[in-house]
Amino acid sequence: MIDVLAALGLALAPVVTPPLPAALLPYRADLQRHAQFYFGIPGPLAVLAAQMAQESDFNPSARSRVGAAGLYQFMPATAMWAGEQLGLPAAPLNPAWAIRAGVWYDKWLMERVNYQRDCDKWGATLSSFNGGLGWQYKRQLRAKDPLDFWGSVRLINPGITAANQRENQDYPKRIVYERQAQFRALGGRLVCIT
């Protein structure tokens, strides 16, 4: 079969896995441990690394203009709440705490979004992480197809500013479809892509 494809000029291109960014390497073991603990084996390492890259570019001291901090860019109130849930003092600038809390929070959100397909669940989870679970629920209620996150729910503005809607609509897409592939070398299961 490959010879036939090659003869037609349609040779299969190998999947090229880029090297992992050096900035991720200090956090790889913590990410793997918590991904497997909260999501099972194999954990969704690539999408979680892509989310961390989107949030902070692996800078544990990152701070946003609105007050979010650390690898997962926790807002202060969310960090306090997550710390209480985990039985740990909030420490969003501590990489080990941020990774544990970020992965735990993704799992917590995923258990609260209502979709049948894993791909839709991940989209809604990431959207909720970025913009809040309440807005995700409002989007789903207003959507033409409430079980299709990517083609219907994500596109609904639930009453937020146009700029916030653009950011929240694009956030899961950037992580899943634009950034995740660069972290394939971590192993684990991929989300929405093969």
User: What pTM was computed for the model?
Assistant: 0.90
Instruction: Confirm whether 170 is domain-assigned.
Output: yes
Domain containing residue 179: CATH number: 1.10.530.10
The answer to whether 131 and 168 have CB atoms below 8 angstroms apart is: yes
Asked if residue 38 has pLDDT above 70, the reply is yes
Residue 45 is part of which domain span? 20-186
Instruction: Confirm whether 2 is domain-assigned.
Output: no
Total count of domains within the chain: 1
* Cβ within 8 Å of residue 90, ≥6 positions away: 74, 76, 79, 80, 82, 83, 97
Instruction: Confirm whether 194 is domain-assigned.
Output: no
At 18 the pLDDT is: 80
- pLDDT confidence tier of residue 194, bands split at 50, 70 and 90: confident
| pLDDT per position as a tens digit, 116-175 | 999 999 999 999 999 999 999 999 999 999 999 999 999 999 999 999 999 999 999 999
Average pLDDT over residues 84-100: 98
